[in-house]
Amino acid sequence: MKPGILVARAVFPEVIERLSQHFEVESNQDDVLFTPDQLIAKLQGKAGVMSTSSSRFDADVLARLPDLKIVANMAVGYDNIDVAACTARGVMASNTPDVLNETTADFGWALLMATARRITESEHWLRAGKWEKWRYDYFLGADLHGSTLGIIGMGRIGQAIARRSMGFDMRVIYHNRSRLSEQQEAHANHAVYVSKEELLRTADHVVLVLPYSSESRHTIAAAELELMKPGATLVNLARGGIVDDTALITALKAKKIAAAGLDVFENEPKFHPDFLGLENVVLTPHIASASAPTRKAMANCAADNLIAALSQQRPPNLLNPETFRQV
């Protein structure tokens, strides 16, 4: 008998079909957002789940899932999974790294340029019928070329963002838990490792691409915003909660920094309503990895992890290798 799995959110039909060759699949193509209790009920007797960051797998949830062998997240970030609790229960956990690096880096640039050059703000103004004449000072923005780009979180996506900055003759500074090798720095447009404070004081544009954890929560709060240049742009591609949204709103209102581009929010899909009243913020609904080929690659990557895990193979993106030895 095929093992049972749950695909917790809607996904490409071809991926459901692929999974059905290996498993009894319960899908959710109506994309119902299950409550924790509903998720737990759906997962009784199931060996695996394809999840997204909207489903939490913490110690309490895992304690009620005795049959579960793998949580395969369709995301590179996995702050919705308590990996230590998974390990303690012998449950494998996996994510989808690498396949989204270049697409996410492209989007980082899209958001950075839209924010620095006030693209959405000016488009809204035009659509509102306000364009009656050309003026020398309409929508003056900040230059990208020749400026200093500060990247906080210099993993694979951060490095891909840095590489793209070569075409804009930018200087790159970065802050990360650990310093890159010389070779990696050279590849990343000769990025220079600096303290977070120096980065915030020096960068014209700051991009956040670090993973969310209790340590990275509010990496950018009131004190950090205070350090930034008055003309600076802040872009958050990483996770809501890395920025203190209330402090950011205060800083944007007071023009302490010029503008922000945000793809992620604290408590998303809810977000602070004051963002909507601000002109100097570009808001997108967590779509940095959303190109058609990349989202398909992510879904197939999560499927690869499920298929491997439930056929006694090591999942290619296993986050807790200790569990593989246990099966």
Tell me which residues touch ligand GLV (CB under 6 A): 75-77, 100, 289
Minimum Å distance from CB 230 to ligand GLV? 30
DSSP string, 257-287: SSEEEES--TTTTS--GGGGG-SSEEE--S-
268 is catalytic: yes
Nearer to ligand GLV, 3 or 240 (CB): 240
Copy the structure tokens of residue 95: 């994510």
Contact 209, 238 (CB under 8 A): yes
Query: Which of 164, 175, 205, 239 is the catalytic position?
Result: 239
Amino acid type, 327: V
**Residue 44 CB neighbours (<10 A):** 13
d(CA 111, CA 159): 17
Nearer to ligand GLV, 77 or 231 (CB): 77
Minimum Å distance from CB 318 to ligand GLV? 17
Nearer to ligand GLV, 62 or 75 (CB): 75
- The kind and range of the H/E element at 159 are helix 156-164
Nearer to ligand GLV, 3 or 315 (CB): 315
286 is catalytic: yes
218 is catalytic: no
Nearer to ligand GLV, 256 or 295 (CB): 295
Query: Which of 286, 314, 322, 325 is the catalytic position?
Result: 286
C-alpha distances in angstroms, 246 versus 216, 238, 271?
16, 17, 10
d(CA 204, CA 76): 28
d(CA 29, CA 10): 4
Name the maximum alpha-carbon separation found in the chain. 71
Minimum Å distance from CB 209 to ligand GLV? 10
Minimum Å distance from CB 278 to ligand GLV? 23
Copy the structure tokens of residue 7: 């695909």
Nearer to ligand GLV, 95 or 147 (CB): 95
Q: Residue 153: which of 103, 202, 207 has the closest Cα?
A: 207
Query: Which of 64, 163, 268, 272 is the catalytic position?
Result: 268
Triad 304, 93, 264: Cα angle to 5°: 95
Minimum Å distance from CB 77 to ligand GLV? 3
Minimum Å distance from CB 125 to ligand GLV? 30
List active site positions: 239, 268, 286
